[in-house]
Amino acid sequence: MQTPVYKIVVIGETEIGKTTFIKRLIYNLNNLYIIMRTLGVDVEPLEICGNTGKIKLNLWDCGGNTRGLGSKYYTQAFGAIIFKRNCNNNHLIYEDGLPDDIKKFYITDFDMKNPEYTIKEYKTQLYEWIRN
C-alpha cells in the first residue's frame, strides 16, 4: 500500500522558529541552536507512523513573509502550520491568503531553546491533526 502524502505549508513571522521546528521533527533533536535562515522556500519530507499507518508530510518552509509568494504557494496544500505569538495578532497577516479549505495547526510561542512539547508529542499531534 502506498503511503499517503500531504503538502503542509509552514507560515509565520520571520525568525519565529519555523525552520528550527522542522529540523527538530526531521532529525529527532530537541536541541538545535545554529540554523541557517531560510531563503525562499525549502521543502522537507517527514514520515510519521501512527495507529492507522504511516503518512508522509512535505513541509513547505517559507523564509519569513509568505505574502510575496502568492496563491501558488498554497496550491494542493492539505494544511498549514501557523506560528504565532500570544502577544500580538501578526499571525492573521499570514492567514489572510490561505484558502478556506486548508486545515490549520497553530503553534503558539514556540521556544527554540526550550520547547514546550517533545518531538514525539509534536509528531503525535500532527499525525492526529492530519488523520482527523
Rounded to an integer, the average pLDDT of 8-20 is 84
Q: What is the pLDDT of residue 101?
A: 87
What's the average model confidence in pLDDT over 81-103? 74
pTM over 0.85? The answer is no
**So what's the pLDDT on residue 72?**
75
Q: Specify the higher pLDDT residue, 108 or 126.
A: 126
How many Cβ atoms from other residues are within 10 Å of residue 32's Cβ?
14
- Arithmetic mean of pLDDT, 6-19: 86
Burial class (CB in 10 A: 0-12, 13-18, 19+), 20: buried
Measured distance CA(4)–CA(23) in Å, rounded? 21
Query: Who has greater pLDDT, 120 or 88?
Result: 120
* Bridge partners of residue 8, in order along the sequence: 59, 79
Euclidean distance between CA atoms 22 and 18, whole angstroms? 6
